[in-house]
Amino acid sequence: MLAWNTSKTPKLRQVIYQLRIAQAQLCYFDHFAFRVGKLGLPMPAKIKGHQSRLAALRNKYRNRPCTIICNGPSLATVDPGIIRKTVSIGCNGVYKRFEDWGFSTDFLVFEDVEQFELRAPEICQLQGPQKMAALYNAYALPSRKGWLFFNAPRCSANGYYWSELDIYPQFSEDFASVVHLGNTVTYIMLQLAFHLGCNPVYIVGLDHNYGKLPALFPPGKIKVTEENYPLVRECHFEPSYYKIGDVIGVPWVEKQELAYAKAVEVFASHSRKLINVSNTTKLHLVKKIELTDWVL
237: three-class secondary structure by DSSP: coil
Q: Does residue 130 lie in a domain region? A: yes
Q: What is the pLDDT of residue 274?
A: 98
Q: Does residue 246 lie in a domain region? A: no
List CB contacts of 10: < 8 A, sequence separation 6 or more: none
For residue 76, give the DSSP letter: G
Domain total for the chain?
1
In this predicted structure, the answer to whether residue 159 has a pLDDT above a threshold of 90 is no
Distances from the Cα of 8 to the Cα of 12, 13, 14, 54, 220, angstroms: 12, 10, 10, 34, 18
Expressed as residue numbers, the domain containing 84 is 50-210+251-293
In this predicted model, what pLDDT tens digit does every residue of 252-284 receive, in sequence order? 999 999 999 999 999 999 999 999 998 789 999
In this predicted model, what pLDDT tens digit does every residue of 42-78 receive, in sequence order? 777 788 999 999 999 999 999 999 999 999 999 999 9
Q: Could you tell me the end-to-end alpha-carbon distance of the chain, in angstroms, rounded to an integer?
A: 43
Q: Does residue 89 lie in a domain region? A: yes
67: three-class secondary structure by DSSP: strand
Q: What is the pLDDT of residue 6?
A: 57
Distances from the Cα of 4 to the Cα of 17, 155, 247, angstroms: 9, 11, 13
Interval 222-232 mean pLDDT? 96
81: three-class secondary structure by DSSP: helix
Lowest mean pLDDT among 155-159, 214-218, 229-233: 155-159
Q: Does residue 45 lie in a domain region? A: no
Q: What is the pLDDT of residue 44?
A: 73
Q: Does residue 25 lie in a domain region? A: no
Q: Does residue 2 lie in a domain region? A: no
d(CA 67, CA 71): 13
Q: What is the pLDDT of residue 49?
A: 94
In this predicted structure, the answer to whether residue 164 has a pLDDT above a threshold of 60 is no
Interval 12-19 mean pLDDT? 90
Q: Is 279 exposed, middle or buried (0-12, 13-18, 19+ CB in 10 A)?
A: middle
Torsion of CA 110, 111, 115, 119, to 10 degrees: 30
Q: Does residue 175 lie in a domain region? A: yes
Q: Where are the alpha helices (H) located in 132-284, listed in sequence order?
A: 159-162, 185-196, 213-216, 229-233, 253-269
In this predicted model, what pLDDT tens digit does every residue of 229-256 receive, in sequence order? 999 999 999 999 999 999 999 999 999 9
Q: Does residue 84 lie in a domain region? A: yes
